[in-house]
Structure 1
Amino acid sequence: MDDVIYLDHAATSAPKPERVAARIARYLQMEGLSAGRGSYRRAVTIGQEIEGGRKKLASLIHAESADRVVFTTSGTEALNLALGCLGQEPGHVIVTSWEHNSVLRPLAAAADRGVTITEVEPGADGRTDPGDVRAAITSETKLICCVHASNVTGVIQPVGEICQLAKERGILSLIDAAQTVGHLPIDVQEMGCSLLAAPCHKGLLAPLGTGFLYLQPGLEDRIPPLQFGGTGTQSEQAVQPAELPYRYESGSRNVPGLIGLAASLEAMSPESIADDAAHQRELTAFCLDRLKGIPGVTVSLPDLPGELRVGVLSLNVEGQDPRVVGTILDEYFQIEVRTGFHCAPQAHQWLGTAELGGTVRISFGSTTSESEIEKLADALQQIAGSF
């Protein structure tokens, strides 16, 4: 598959680094043990390896301690867990127009028990104005949800200002960092967020089936577990352990995924993440420059400065369903992109692309090259010209 160009890194990074694949293969072929379920040396060693990954991840996001990082099976599970902070009573939640269905759908379910939701639309540049968020706050507001960077357009939101605003008003803040962890430097303490959720299989280059939730100290008393069961600790007790991270990590863990995460994190540092961010900005600028000259191709928010977006772009070809364009790119040019609504329907309402069937999304990874973008631009020029 060397001739295939993969431009769907916003869905998941691919292929995974060799160090990740090699470590998982060795585990599956030579070990295959559960972690935290045995006192024999090999099981203990596997558990220590996973905990080493937790410590490295906590360090990368500047969490207060490693136990503030709870492993989940996905960013979706992490967001659902975080939304447990709403409890069972009515209340008010503020969201942005860029939120993913992993936030919108749990909130739609919460609306059945009386939770009200206010959507704050962005300005012309795609950025949410913290002043508009402030204006939406009521005496009933419990939570402000904000995606760090849109998975449709790549626009980066002013999450620091929004989190500070929430803190000043005694309101919890939840940041969806699915498109930024591993791609942008993140300091949860400086940001001031109450909760930060993300998958590990995107910017962190780990396997699918891995994610995490960061909880600010003290919040565990306000967020119930999604499930209860064996944790490998305090097994003699009939109730769930109160200590983090075990309070939220019931059942046998995804050991292949978590040791793959640990292997990936071995080569990550604040410096490497900053380098990746610069690489993504360069690729995005190069791609925008190539696409702007193609008649019939329209890019969403084309003039947004590079420092305000990650490596995610959305486009449409005049008069064509995005799914048709994506199929042609795949079948005739061996270029893999994502098409449709990208699980963010409100974003498309704001962009005006809902009636078009969404967009063609292009997203870059650490292995993406300018030559691949050149081939994409040439393919789109042929497609737009033929129609």
Structure 2
Amino acid sequence: MYYFDHAATSFPKPKRVIDSVVTTMEMHGANPGRGGHSLSRQASELVLQTRQKIAAFFHAPSEEHVWFYPNATFALNQAIIGFPFSNGDEVVTTHFEHNSVLRPLYAMEKQAGIIIRFAGGKTGEETAASVVEAINDKTKFVVINHASNVTGEIVPLTSISEKAKSVGAILCVDASQTAGTISINMERDGIDLLACPGHKGLLGPQGTGILLSKHDYHLKPMTYGGTGHSSESKDQPIMWPERYEAGTLNTPAIAGLGAGIDELEYLGGTEAIYQHEVQLVDYFLREIANVNVSLVGSDTTEGRLAVVSFAFAELSSQECAIILDQHYQIAVRAGLHCAPKLHEWFGSINKGLVRVSFGPYTTMNDVRVLIQAIKEIGASF
């Protein structure tokens, strides 16, 4: 199988990640923070080590500011639905958001009476400029996709964070596509809340997500329950991270996520990974220019990730994906990619798009196989 669906989840997983998950289940499978015995202490240490790695990786204030969840969707819900909105508060976002941002915003529109202002442009730079223009004195919260999961366009953060700070707004960044692929520094980039999955660019197992909070924004916890201490209290503890992590954590997966961070360093860090993927997408874009397909987004590597979406005029995205899968053993993603407003923006809402996305283990030969398959499909019309 030739795998081109890294924007959904990275595959294959590094051996060190698999080994870490298996070893944890075999040797340290107790509940972290739920007992004084040695196995529980070992599990707690594994969780702490991963917390520390992530805090350092994203330049968070400390490990207490790192909260673990089942996925980025849960993390974004904690950030958005947990935020103390008041009726009439304005939120600025973009047309290119995933439903993991859109649906929580729509829920808060109904429940809290917030006003949603949408911004956007053809490129990441244009989108950033549009977001800056949309931010005003009534803006309380800005939530943006750091890079589109459909077009790969990267949205620069500096101007947005500066404008948000100037009006006292909170900046929440969905780094689902960028975490592990490009450098993210919460302090340098002016990020208040950072949400990302552990199973994509960070190379960890599925079932892992992270929310990092720079300061205390008085978020309401999404879950209430056991935390391993203060059991006599009727209220959720106020200390971090326990306040936002009720219930048993997925210790084996979190240990695997820590191993994923180690693998990123072994591969040379985000800059090396980005350069590898950009080299592949550059070749892909140059070759696909000779095929009768329409691209969405930029046709260059400037300011983008290794994510490309396209369409055949004569073929639906789902049909194309089936052909690639069944006849060429090539895995891609087709449809609306949980980003309906983007497809409305680009006029692809009816047929959807075929998305190909590259990862750190994708080879040039893999890309050549993909290109040849697309050319053969195009030649059949």
Give the ranges of 4+ consecutive aligned residues of structure 1 lying more than 4 Å apart after TM superposition. Answer: none
- Secondary structure of 1:94's match? strand
Instruction: State the secondary structure of the residue aligned to 2:372.
Output: helix
TM superposition shift of 1:320: 0.9
Task: State the distance in 2 between where 1:26 and 1:190 align.
Answer: 36
Q: How far has the Cα of 1:307 moved from its partner?
A: 4.1
2:309 to 306, 311, 314: 314
* 8 Å CA contact retained: 1:184, 1:274: yes
CA distance in structure 2 between the partners assigned to 1:230 and 1:328 by the alignment:
49
Distance 1:31 1:214 in 2: 26
Task: Write out aligned runs for 1:208-223 (5 A).
Answer: 208-219=206-217, 222-223=218-219
Q: Please tell me whether residue 339 in structure 1 is matched to residue 334 in structure 2.
A: yes
2:277 is the counterpart of 1:283: no
Whether the aligned pair in 1 keeps the contact of 2:71 and 2:198 (CA below 8 Å) is yes
> Which amino acid in structure 2 is aligned with residue 163 of structure 1?
S
Over the residues paired in the alignment, what is the CA RMSD in angstroms?
1.6
CA distance in structure 1 between the partners assigned to 2:53 and 2:324 by the alignment = 39
The answer to whether the 8 A contact 1:78-1:212 is kept is yes
State whether structure 2 residue 166 is matched by structure 1 residue 196: no
Q: Quote the Cα distance in structure 2 between the aligned partners of 1:86 and 1:385.
A: 55
Correspondence list, 1:320-335, <5 A: 320-335=315-330
Counterpart CA distance in 2 for 1:22 and 1:115 is 46
Deviation of 1:86 (Å) = 4.2
The equivalent of 1:237 in structure 2 is: 233
Question: Is residue 177 of structure 2 the alignment partner of residue 183 of structure 1?
Answer: no
Contact 2:124 2:303 in 1 (8 A): no
| 2:93 match: secondary structure | strand
Deviation at 1:333, TM superposition (A): 0.2
User: What percent identity do the matched residue pairs reach?
Assistant: 37
Question: What are the equivalent positions in structure 2 for 1:28-177 lying under 5 Å apart?
Answer: 28-83=25-80, 84-87=82-85, 89-113=87-111, 114-122=113-121, 124-177=122-175
Provide closer, same or farther for how the CA distance between residues 328 and 159 of structure 1 changes in structure 2, counting only shifts above 3 A.
same
Question: Within 2, Cα distance between the matches of 1:13 and 1:205?
Answer: 6
- Do 2:29 and 2:39's aligned partners in 1 also have CA atoms closer than 8 Å? no
Are the aligned partners of 1:86 and 1:142 in contact in 2 as well (CA < 8 Å)? Answer: no
Amino acid at match of 1:301: G
Residue 267, structure 1, aligned to residue 263, structure 2: yes
Residue 233 of structure 2 aligns with an amino acid whose one-letter code is Q
Q: In the alignment, what sits opposite 2:253?
A: 257
Map of 1:378 onto structure 2: 372
- Residue 369 of structure 1 pairs with residue 368 of structure 2: no
Greater mean alpha carbon deviation, residues 269-278 or residues 38-47: 269-278
CA contact (8 A) 1:288 1:302 kept: no
What's the secondary structure of 2:264's corresponding residue? coil
- Which residue number in structure 2 is paired with residue 349 of structure 1? 344
Matched-pair contact (CA < 8 Å) for 2:85–2:114:
no
Which AA in structure 2 matches 1:65? Answer: S
Aligned to 1:6: 3
CA contact (8 A) 1:151 1:342 kept: yes
The one-letter amino acid paired with 1:50 is V
Contact 1:318–1:384 (CA under 8 A) maintained in structure 2: no
Is this contact kept in 2: 1:96–1:120, CA < 8 A?
yes
- Between 1:33-42 and 1:339-348, the stretch displaced more is 33-42
Aligned residues: 378
Partners of 1:232 and 1:19 in 2: CA distance: 30
1:130 to 1:287, Cα distance in 2 relative to 1, 3 A: closer
The CA deviation at 1:140 is: 2.8
Instruction: Decide whether the 8 Å contact of 1:164 with 1:192 is kept in 2.
Output: yes
Q: 1:109 to 1:137 in 2, by over 3 A?
A: same
Amino acid across the alignment from 1:333: Y
**Contact 1:146–1:159 (CA<8 Å) still a contact in 2?**
no
- State the Cα deviation string for residues 129-167 of structure 1 (Å, max 9, x = none): 444323323443211111100000110001221111101
Residue type of the alignment partner of 1:245: P
CA distance in 1, matches of 2:280, 2:119: 30
Cα distance between partner residues in 2 of 1:188 and 1:127: 20
**Secondary structure of the corresponding residue to residue 144 of structure 2:** strand
Q: Residues 128 and 245 (structure 1 numbering): CA distance in 2 closer, same or farther, change over 3 Å?
A: farther
Instruction: Work out the CA distance in 2 between the residues paired with 1:225 and 1:147.
Output: 23
Secondary structure in 2 aligned to 1:367?
coil
Secondary structure of 2:181 counterpart: coil
1:257–1:172 Cα change, 3 Å: same
Alignment CA distance shift 1:142-1:317 (3 Å): same
Structure 1 position 64, deviation (Å):
1.2
Provide TM-score, normalisation by structure 1: 0.94
CA distance in 2, matches of 1:34, 1:351: 48
SS of aligned partner of 1:85 = coil
Question: How far apart are 1:249 and its partner, in Å?
Answer: 0.5
